[in-house]
Chains A and B, each alone.
Chain A
């Protein structure tokens, strides 16, 4: 046991991301990093810390506040044989540069008949809960997942973060890597203990497009991603005390979406609750429920979702906390569906 304890190497998602990038940079000359404050500062959210000191200013590049330029440049560099890892500081800023992402990075492989792949990673922070208001707290993974041509991954813990980042860098296609601020393990954003877990020293990959059952159960399936997974796990603890066995599925990837794992779990439990910090309508929660419904999976009761309401994210703590998904809402949802 103590032996195992020694082997434990707990990292935050921020450090796991930086470690993944640095390991790939050591073994692959083509990998470089661009973004605002990714250099000496190490990224506003710590995920490029140490890279500038190790690899220098030419491979770890601070950019002007010109997202359209440097993301567009990443596409051109990737087409020319490089492997850029670029950061969009907050996903909320996608509106100033989405063309370079969804019309260029995501479509050039198709437009070129596969002859000009775009192997790049776009890292971007998501999520709220710390009163950063409506332009700095959104998730928007549904927005990216709706548009074809880019893979979309979002880890709930450090082990997956490192493995998904290495997989993303090695992928021949553009991968949007969405990391949730509340899970970064930056003290100043609070700390979700569950996101800090054992991360092997050596490089490894987590396959993009494979969901993971993070807790087995038989009475209800709780499907989530990033923060939703942790809400689901906490809800499962509460439900367990009530004698309810909840299975929690961490999607980890929205594109490709692991529909098989969702169907398998729901077929087993016969109940579905989708947790999503992204906006309620026309997003992830609807897609997961539709995936189950269109397959005609027999359910004991109607599937439910615990998602962020269709409102901009309010600054004031009482309003924001009330609007966010949480374990209690999941538990209530279960109790309502089984009443």
Chain B
């Protein structure tokens, strides 16, 4: 437990009770006070009546990863009292609805009872209001306890309900009931409290799915086809919202189409059909959807059709843990479909990068004429993150890749071949249906074909085409976003390779390790195929920890086979319990390996000697 502007609050609720909104008011208020916050919604796979949690870490230092241990627990769900109480750190606080008082059996924590139900029963008549405003009451109480300026919350409530005055009033009433109660009954503020800061000034709060949906708008995507599945649903929904906001023509009609397909097979097929026909098109899904899409992904690979797929990963395998996070579809996506296939993957680390990579993905898909899969996850996609504001460079050109329009077709001297490698980069030129009355028509198919797109059963011709696809994949290496490298110590022989939403956890882990005297360098992968930087980084280190949120070390396997890194060098650090990673986990795993694994210890000695 820490002190000012640095602690963790957790809310234990029942879902469907309206808590999510109230809890987000709380997080938003802290953010408005200039504090980096990282709200994590831990929700069940149902609609109403089951336990749900909302964790908010406040960290002026900007650590946005989860931190284990709860400083203030708002325990609103008697069903989970036992486990909730246990999570509170020694010296921490437990807030509960003391309308029915009870004991929690821990002397080392401070229990603050607030008779929330009773307060609501006095204040509201409508039984639904009594229920709903309990959430706002505890937010009010918390405001008093941790010292949030009440006007900040009032403003947030006002913005929410501006069109509905009666609700605004009721919310404010509830807020003050809680505030007044805490100010009156407890010594406010607690040692765990907040103070206005400028650590988050200028930043924004947004979820990855929201940002990715917006990124698709900015990328000029016009066709989205999807099938509902947690945690990707809100990405397609965001795209549709922004489409309605930014893309309505003079007649009130949309510059874009969104189709809720009958299933994932259709969803990706629609996107591929649109991509073939010259629209930027995408689908968004999650694990089971990827499995269902894999036949079509293979077609798009082989017929060379641009399409963008967002895989907002959740806990696998099978239906798995639909409301928990994992990075466990790496292999399934890198090699989706039967036969020899390889796909371009992008790994955003936060909502801002979701926005950027969404935009990037369409350029890549069209340049490379192949599926590009953006590997987000539940934590990035559905949680709200504090990030730098989104940026768009108006001078940026959308790169549509090698498309021959009517003029270019007219100007062509040599015979055009849809699958001919004229430039040596493995990327052929394509044409869009309807372009030219006589030139450029070709026949697209998933069966083996010649350079001129005719059907062939000549195995050597086909093998040559397959080899060109490999060449194209090699070209991709230099086109995809390069990794970012966090070089903390030139002499260190220990490194970390990681990717995606664990960025904050790894960075905090690095800090913790450095505090304990271990300095490691880190490389964050941003794409597959791997840029040569990755192998170089590995070569520069004796031992490299590969941090990933899956059971099988899937990225590590890819690094071994695709970046050619020796297996012994790569030490897996695996987490697959479905929760966002914490810095302590990273540091802990690495430190214990250093202390127990002689090779790692040797590498460490080498680093030290080098200093």
**Genuine A/B complex:** no
Interface of B toward A, CB cutoff 8 Å = none
Interface of A toward B, CB cutoff 8 Å = none
